[in-house]
Structure 1
Amino acid sequence: MLKKSAFPLLLLNMFLANLSMGLVIPIVPELLEMFSASGQAAGYLVACFGLTQFLFSPLAGNLSDRYGRKPMIIIGLILFGLSNLLAALASDLTLLFVSRLIGGVGSAALIPSIIAYIADITTADQRSKSMSWLGASMTSGFIIGPGVGGLLAEWGIKAPFYVSACVGLLAMLCSLWGLPESLSADIRRMRQQVKEKKENVFRQIVLSVRTRYFVLLLIVFAMTFGLTHFEAIFPLFVVQVYGFSTRQIAILLTVCSLIGTLNQLLLTDRITQRFGEKRIIGAMLLLSAVSLVLLLFSGHFYYVMAVTMLFFTFTNILRPTINTLLSKVAGDEQGFVAGMNNAYTSLGMIFGPMLAGILFEVQVNLPYLFGGFVLLVSSILSGSRLRKVLASS
């Protein structure tokens, strides 16, 4: 087994990648105004990232198994840097879309490879704690990103993109120099020689419909759909409807993400042990739906901050609870379930922002009303359906 000296660098890479994504959130309204683009374009910008992530994740995972984790991590970081550099240089909306598509490919190469790397260098009893640290690095990067992005935007609308590109380059150089390969040369040669035929992701999704845990995968989709409904339109919504500034958006998202993550760490285990995963999933879906609708009631800064903090708290508790229950019912299908979890998350990232952008152009409140409706229906359906899942597991 490799020394765990690689582990801090993996956490740093995940942190920097999510920091780079979070940096640009507060400047979305100004960016779209610069290109005379609509709210619909904002939704498509988020959706196209999810599209390439969805399409390339299976290929990237296969390449990671055959040729090693380190090459895919390096490629992912290079693509992240290139994506942000293109966005910084973009003089029209087309190049901005190209940059997002490249960013999705980078995410597909980077994130699964880091997760697989950690699985390679940890034992089964260490893995849960290691994955928790990895999740914390992802969340903390995204928390700090909007605040830093809002401050950098005062130096120019493109400054967050340039800094993001530099961060990606720095992470790539650190990994190139300090990250050993986790798979031995013998294992890589053996896997390259195996001509195993794997089902494509679309066929796997069809197969997942017949599984006993399909309802949990639908909840993963609904949760991501609702979350991206919120995130894709939030900067535009609070600027156009409530008149918030870039600095206010940065402060709001940073504070709310931080509190939401803290609440997740303090509350998730306690309430899950007391009430069980089934009740927590239903309750968090319902409360997430309510908080989306409550966002429409007032534009007072501290009211919006309180509602956003609650929404982040509910969704942050929901995600690990669903993952835990999926792991429990998966049995010997852990790999397939992990892949489907990622696939349904990516589908939510595609369709959630896309529809949110379209609805925003029809009426500014519709994205949050419809997102709340999807979460509400999911909460109602989860009650009886999850009971059957648990009974059969």
Structure 2
Amino acid sequence: MPLPRLARGASGRPAAAPRVRLPREIKVLLAAAFVIALGYGLVAPVLPQFAASFDVGVAAASVIVSVFAFTRLIFAPTSGSLTARLGERKVYVSGVLIVALSTGACAFAQNYWQLLLYRGLGGIGSTMFTVSAMALLVRLAPPDGRGRVSSAYAGTFLMGGILGPVAGGLLAGWGLRVPFLVYAAALVVAAAVVAVMLREPRNAAGGDGTAASPPMTVREALADGTYRASLVSAFANGWATFGVRMSLIPLFAGAVLLAGPSTAGLALAVFAVGNAAALTFSGRLADTLGRKPMVITGLVVTGLALGAVGFTDNVPLFVVLSVVAGFGSGLLNPSQQAAVADVVGNERNGGKVLATFQMATDAGAILGPVLAGALADRLSYGWAFAATGAILLVSALVWLAFGRETLIREPQLQQRPDGTA
């Protein structure tokens, strides 16, 4: 199948994408995303300490963090089915309220097992609003603005995630339970705003009395090479940036570089800085140059940077590579999500398809720390990070071989001197 041709200007370069006016519904989603990310950052710093306050060990305290990701993974298919059956808006609001209730319940947990149960239930709500939010963005974003919408959404989450831990640390001074109560209240407000201001998207064929378009099935999506390549790169991205980066970089800083927790924290912070820098323009490039070149570039940059981390022997280079890896991740994510959105399209509910895409990311985030950690124990940190980089580079090759360019821009009409087309 020939690749779709991009519109080109008189110079032969890809034509600049027109400025896309974001629908009001997307602005509502961006505001809600900021509140959710801010609140998640509120509880993230205190959650392990709160678990440890019930006189459990480090491993048990860490399970409190992992159970959230685990329940997200196993409930993702159900979230996709609910989104396809009930509609994006209802599932989104329900998911946010479930997280609000579970977070509020955490504040009143009387023992470790209650905290574990309540936190696990929060993962169910989290995957509900994550899948439905992705489906809403796919349905509401203009086709030639999906890269910018994905970039804006990721940037909003990133900003909330950076500010949240700072506020959470301050609130913890009032007690470890207080951040949970504040987050729960903020989520209720966010759910109320979305319920009032966001309309349920309707199928293109559903507003004139004709039958609505049926939801897209995973089998249909898998017939597209771009979707298959996206699943591979989502797994690799989850393995590297959500798994290995969060688990192995702090350990590497202490064991190999003999640096303290502050250096590990600095590496994670500058990753976010590099990510934020790339997000300022990567979405626009995805809407002009195309999805495929941006995805491949992001995978290669992140893979080379993270693959080299394990062979560093000084802190400055370690920090520089962390910045570069974050930059590569910022190039990858908006373009990858825009490509999946192109496969689904505006006219159909893609809940199951998007849930499978999320599951690939979550699976990588869960397996990455375990398998890379085993490599570090048996061989070395160099092997662990090299394997992580190799997985990202292999996924780039998969995109190169099987991914098609999904961005299709209509040729712009040439203007005659008299102003007519």
Provide Cα deviations, 1:313-338, integer angstroms capped at 9, x if missing partner: 22222323444566678999995764
Secondary structure of 2:45's aligned partner: helix
> CA 1:328/1:7 → structure 2, altered by over 3 Å: closer, same or farther?
closer
Structure 1 residue 263 corresponds to structure 2 residue 263: no
Query: Could you tell me which amino acid in structure 1 is paired with residue 82 of structure 2?
Result: L
**Aligned counterpart, 1:222:** 236
How far has the Cα of 1:31 moved from its partner?
Answer: 4.1
Structure 1 residue 37 corresponds to structure 2 residue 50: no
> CA 1:4/1:172 → structure 2, altered by over 3 Å: closer, same or farther?
same
> CA 1:262/1:31 → structure 2, altered by over 3 Å: closer, same or farther?
same
Secondary structure of 2:68's aligned partner: helix
**Aligned counterpart, 2:167:** 148
From the CA coordinates, give the structure whose radius of gyration is larger.
Answer: 2
Contact kept in structure 1, 2:40 and 2:164, CA below 8 Å: yes
**Aligned counterpart, 2:306:** 289
Whole-Å separation in 1 of the counterparts to 2:330 and 2:259: 26
**Aligned counterpart, 2:357:** 341
Secondary structure of 1:157's aligned partner: coil
Contact kept in structure 2, 1:285 and 1:375, CA below 8 Å: yes
Structure 1 residue 309 corresponds to structure 2 residue 323: yes
Whole-Å separation in 2 of the counterparts to 1:88 and 1:249: 29
Structure 1 residue 388 corresponds to structure 2 residue 401: yes
> CA 1:6/1:267 → structure 2, altered by over 3 Å: closer, same or farther?
closer
**Aligned counterpart, 2:7:** none
Give the count of matched residue pairs.
373
Whole-Å separation in 2 of the counterparts to 1:278 and 1:12: 27
> CA 1:373/1:150 → structure 2, altered by over 3 Å: closer, same or farther?
farther
Contact kept in structure 2, 1:77 and 1:169, CA below 8 Å: yes
Output aligned runs, 1:46-57, within 5 Å.
Answer: 46-57=65-76
> CA 1:358/1:156 → structure 2, altered by over 3 Å: closer, same or farther?
farther
Contact kept in structure 2, 1:11 and 1:134, CA below 8 Å: yes
Please point out which of 57, 62, 68 is paired with 2:81: 62
Whole-Å separation in 1 of the counterparts to 2:215 and 2:405: 30
Structure 1 residue 169 corresponds to structure 2 residue 154: no
> CA 1:279/1:255 → structure 2, altered by over 3 Å: closer, same or farther?
closer
Whole-Å separation in 1 of the counterparts to 2:173 and 2:264: 13
Range 303-312 or range 81-90, more displaced? 303-312
> CA 1:105/1:288 → structure 2, altered by over 3 Å: closer, same or farther?
farther
Contact kept in structure 1, 2:51 and 2:64, CA below 8 Å: no
Provide Cα deviations, 1:257-304, integer angstroms capped at 9, x if missing partner: 24421233246766995993475145224324235426x745x6x776
> CA 1:306/1:218 → structure 2, altered by over 3 Å: closer, same or farther?
same
> CA 1:76/1:343 → structure 2, altered by over 3 Å: closer, same or farther?
same
Contact kept in structure 2, 1:15 and 1:141, CA below 8 Å: yes
Contact kept in structure 1, 2:99 and 2:126, CA below 8 Å: yes
Please point out which of 112, 127, 130 is paired with 2:131: 112
How far has the Cα of 1:353 moved from its partner?
Answer: 4.6
Contact kept in structure 2, 1:69 and 1:114, CA below 8 Å: yes
Output aligned runs, 1:1-393, within 5 Å.
Answer: 4-27=23-46, 30-31=49-50, 33-34=52-53, 35-39=55-59, 42=62, 44-183=63-202, 208=222, 212-213=225-226, 214-227=228-241, 228-232=243-247, 242-244=259-261, 253=268, 256-266=271-281, 273=289, 276-277=293-294, 280-290=297-307, 292-293=309-310, 297-298=313-314, 306-323=320-337, 335=350, 338-353=354-369, 355=371, 370-380=384-394, 382-383=396-397, 385-389=398-402
Whole-Å separation in 2 of the counterparts to 1:8 and 1:278: 25
Whole-Å separation in 1 of the counterparts to 2:319 and 2:175: 26
Contact kept in structure 2, 1:288 and 1:315, CA below 8 Å: no
Contact kept in structure 2, 1:77 and 1:110, CA below 8 Å: yes
Contact kept in structure 2, 1:15 and 1:137, CA below 8 Å: yes
Whole-Å separation in 2 of the counterparts to 1:27 and 1:265: 31
Provide Cα deviations, 1:355-380, integer angstroms capped at 9, x if missing partner: 567789x69975x8525413324415
Contact kept in structure 1, 2:41 and 2:165, CA below 8 Å: yes
How far has the Cα of 1:343 moved from its partner?
Answer: 2.4
Secondary structure of 2:261's aligned partner: coil
Contact kept in structure 2, 1:45 and 1:100, CA below 8 Å: yes
Secondary structure of 1:276's aligned partner: helix
Whole-Å separation in 2 of the counterparts to 1:259 and 1:371: 19
Whole-Å separation in 1 of the counterparts to 2:71 and 2:247: 17
Greater percentage in helix? 1
Whole-Å separation in 2 of the counterparts to 1:198 and 1:128: 21
Unaligned runs of 5+ residues in structure 2 are 1-21, 407-421
